[in-house]
Amino acid sequence: MKHPLIKIDEIPAEGTVVVPFFGREVHVYKVNGQPKAVANTCLHFGGPLECRDGKFICPWHGAEYDMQDGRRLKAPARPDARLMVLSTRIEDGVLNYVWGE
């Protein structure tokens, strides 16, 4: 099954674009030219994430995450925390969230 997120040509070359996702939000961006979609949810206490200085930073308590693989870089999120990365597939110029395949 699939759910469209955004047209590929609407994904910025730098930074992220936030798109709606079943009542929540995901950051969509490119890593080495490849689109990536990450839930806009800090794993400390659920705060939103800001893209700054090549990292995701949570303004609530300062946790930081790597944009390439979602791993936690800075507390107070747990050391083993990793952001939720969506499984995706490109079809007809659209980035889709896919599941159950």
Give the Cα separation of 85 and 27 in Å (integer): 10
Q: Cβ of residue 59: shortest distance to ligand FES, in angstroms?
A: 8
According to CB under 6 A, which one of 61, 71, 78, 89 is a site residue for ligand FES? 61
Of 33, 21, 23, nearest in space to 85 by CA: 21
Contact between 55 and ligand FES (CB under 6 A)? no
Stretch that binds ligand FES, among 8-16, 27-35, 59-67, 82-90 (CB under 6 A): 59-67
Query: Which of 25, 60, 82, 98 is the binder for ligand FES (CB under 6 A)?
Result: 60
Closer by beta carbon to ligand FES, 70 or else 76: 76
Tokens 């659209």 — which residue? 94
How buried is residue 98: exposed, middle or buried, by Cβ count under 10 Å (0-12/13-18/19+)? middle
What CA–CA distance (Å, rounded) separates 52 from 34? 19
Interface region with ligand FES, contact rule CB under 6 A, candidates 1-9, 13-21, 25-33, 37-45: 37-45
